[in-house]
Chain A
C-alpha cells in the first residue's frame, strides 16, 4: 500500500498571532512554521504502518510556496520517503483540494490521509473536498487505522461513541487525535537521510477562489473575573443561577 499524507504548514501553536496591515491576513514576521499537528499525527501513523511492513511507501504533499519546503523536509527527516509540493500560495480550501487532487490524478495512492483541520484556518473541509473532486470514499474523524492485506480497518469517532469500518482502497481518511499517540520526533539518521530524499515541485492548476477572508480582527478582551470566597464556594452556584442564569 502507498500512502499520501497531506501536510499543511501552520504557525507554531504557541505563536502570538497579530493581524497584518491588510486586515485580512496575519502578520508573518517572526513566525515559526510547523507541520499542522493533526497532519503530523497522520504522518506518524503512516510511518508506524511502514515500520511493520503494511505500507510500502509514504509520500507527503503540500500546496504552498517555497517557504513550506522546510516543513516538508522535516516530514522527510521524520521518515517519509519523498515529498511533493505544488508551488502556489493557496487562496482557500478549494485551491488546496483541487491541487492535491491533481497530484493524485497523476499518481495513484491507496490511502490519502488528511488531518481533521489545520490549526490556522480551522477549515476542516480539505479532505472532504478532495474526496468529492476525486469521487473517492471518505471516512472522517478517524482515530485508529490498521491495514490487513488489501483491507483497511478504520476506527471512527462519532458523538458519544465509536464506529469500526472496513474499507478497500483507494480512500481518503480524515484523521484526528488518537490516530497516533504522539508525533514522531525525527532521528539524527532520519535528518541525515532526508538530505538525499526527493522533493519534487509542480505547477498549480488555476482555480477561482470560492471563499475569501473579508476581514480578521482580534476578539474583545474579557471583563474582570468575579472572585468568590473559598469559604463560601457554594455561593458560586447561586450566582450562576441567579446572576449569570446559566444553570
Chain B
C-alpha cells in the first residue's frame, strides 16, 4: 500500500488548481447565469493538454495516468463543473473509446485532433425513451454496403452542439437486440444532422446539452468502431471509465463547497464567536470532511485499478454512486452553513448544489450504479 502521490501527479494537480483558481473563477457566475459556453477556457484546456491528458503521446495526448486525471478533474470541478464535464466526455468517453477500440486510421484521423483539443467530442447514447436503458436503441444505422445510413434522435447530449466529432450508438440489426448495436464515428457537420437548442438546465448551465436529430446521415463503413455488432459492449466498456471522470467531478463539486464552507466558518461570526466554534457547524464540517475523503479514496482506487490494467467497473460504479450522492449532501449542507448568503448566487455554493444534482443523473444514475454494484455483490 502506498497513499503517496508522485511528484508528477502533484504537479498536474497544481497545474489544474492554478488554471481553475486563476482563469475559471473569473466569470464563472456570469457563464452560469447566462448559459455562456466557455470557448476561451476550452481553448486553454487544450493548450495545457487537459483535453487529451489520458491519450497515448503517439496520438498527441499527454500520456498521463488515471490517478492524475482524477486529481485534475477534482480541482477543475471545484470551480466549474461545466468545464470539467467537457474535459471528462472528451477524455474518458470519446478519446478513450477510439484509442482502445478504434483502427489506426481512425486514431490518425479523429483521435489526434481530439487529443490536441482542436475539436471536442460528444458521446451519443441517450435517447428520448432510453436514458439509462442502453439496450433499447431506437436510432438506426442501416447497412448500405459501403456506408451506414443513420436515422433517429439522441437526447441530453453533452457538447451536442460544440463538439466536432460524435461517437454515435445506433441499432443495425434490431432482431439481434443489443448484440446488433454499432458504434460509429460521425462528423458533426455531416449532411442530415440537425442539433436542437441548448437545453435550459438547472446546473452546468454553460456546457451545451442538446438533442441531435439524424435524417439519412451517411457514415462511411470505416468509421465503425470494432467488429460489426460491438456497439453495446463498446458503450458499456467506455462508460466504465467515464464513471471515474464523473465521480471525480462530483468529488470536486463537494470539495469546492467544503472549502468555501471552511473558509466561511473561519470568517463569519454569530453569537459573538466564529461560527466554526459552534459545534452545530463544526460537526457538519467534520461529516463533510469524512464523506469527501471517502469519495476521494474510492475515486483514486478505481483510477489506480484502471492504471494497473485490473478490472475497475465495480470500483468505478461505487466511486460514482458514492461521490455523486455525497456531493448532493455536502453541497446542501454547505448552503445551510452559509445561511442566507448560501442561497444567493454570489457565494457559489448554491451553484455547486445545482451542479451536484446532475452527477446523480448523467452517465448512469445513482440507481443504475446500484444495479451494477448489487449484481456484482449477488453474483455466484
Contact = CB atoms under 8 A, between A and B. Distances in A.
B197 interface: no
Contacts of B63: 188, 192
B217 interface: no
Interface stretch (A70-78, A137-145, A160-168, A201-209): A70-78
Contact of A185 (B19, B52, B57, B62): B19
Interface in A169-220: 182-183, 185-192, 195
Given A183-B18, A185-B48, 7 more contacts: A182-B22, A185-B18, A188-B48, A188-B52, A188-B53, A191-B15, A191-B62
A147 to B, nearest CB: 24
A-side binding surface: helix, strand, loop or mixed?
A: helix
A70 B13 CA distance: 14
Given A185-B48, A187-B47, A187-B48, A192 B57 contact: yes
B305 interface: no
A191 B7 CA distance: 10
B62 A189 contact: yes
Interface string A57-81: 0000000000000100110010000
A13 to B, nearest CB: 13
B27 to A, nearest CB: 16
A191 B50 contact: no
B134 interface: no
Among A182, A183, A188, A189, chain B packs the most CB atoms within 10 A around the CB of: A188
Identify the interface centre among B22, B48, B50, B53: most chain A CB within 10 Å of its CB.
B48
B361 interface: no
A183 B21 CA distance: 13
A73 B49 contact: no
Contacts of A77: 11
B8 interface: yes
A190 B47 CA distance: 11
A200 B274 CA distance: 50
Query: Which A-B residue pairs are the 6 nearest by beta carbons?
Result: A188-B62, A188-B49, A187-B49, A187-B48, A188-B53, A185-B18
Contact of A191 (B12, B19, B22, B61): B12
B368 interface: no
